[in-house]
Amino acid sequence: QVLLVESGGGSVQAGGSLRLSCAASGWTELRACAGWFRQYPGKEREWVASVDRRRTAAYADSVKGRFTISKDLASHTLDLQMSSLKPEDTAMYYCANSGRACDSPLVNQHDYAYWGQGTQVTVSS
C-alpha cells in the first residue's frame, strides 16, 4: 500500500508561482510512474504531467512550458513547479502513483493505482 500526501497548494495571483509536493510512504515501487492530475468542479480529472521510471516527463499542452514535474527517488517525493499561473489553472490537484514499473509516462488516470487526497490551487486574476 502506498500513501500519498500532497502539500503546497494555496492562493496566488495570475502570473505567480506555486510548488506542489507529494510525499509517498509505505512500500513504493521505485520504477513506478508518477503524475499530477487536476479536477474542476463537476468535471473528470484531467492529466497535467507525469514522469516514468527514468524520469522522462510529459506534459499536457495547457501547461507545457509553465509547469515542471520532478521526482526524487531518495526522498520519495514528486514535485510540480507551477509558474506563470492563470485563472484557468484553478483546480484541485492530485498526485498519483502507478504502483508498478513503467517505461513511458502514463496519461490515463485509470493506469494509476494510488492517489493523494488533493490540494487546492486558486489563481485570481
d(CA 111, CA 108): 6
Mean predicted confidence (pLDDT) in 78-105: 95
**Which residues lie closer than 8 Å to 66 by C-beta, 6 or more apart?**
82, 83, 84, 85
- CA angle 47/43/64 to nearest 5° reads 30
Average pLDDT along the chain: 94
pLDDT of residue 32: 85
Model confidence at 53, pLDDT cuts 50, 70, 90, reads confident
pLDDT at 31: 78
Interior angle at CA 18, CA 13 and CA 22, nearest 5: 145
Q: Classify residue 99 as left (phi > 0), alpha (psi -120 to 50) or beta.
A: left
Q: What is the mean pLDDT of residues 16-41?
A: 90
Q: Is the pLDDT of residue 35 over 90?
A: yes
How far apart are alpha carbons 29 and 107 in whole angstroms?
Answer: 18
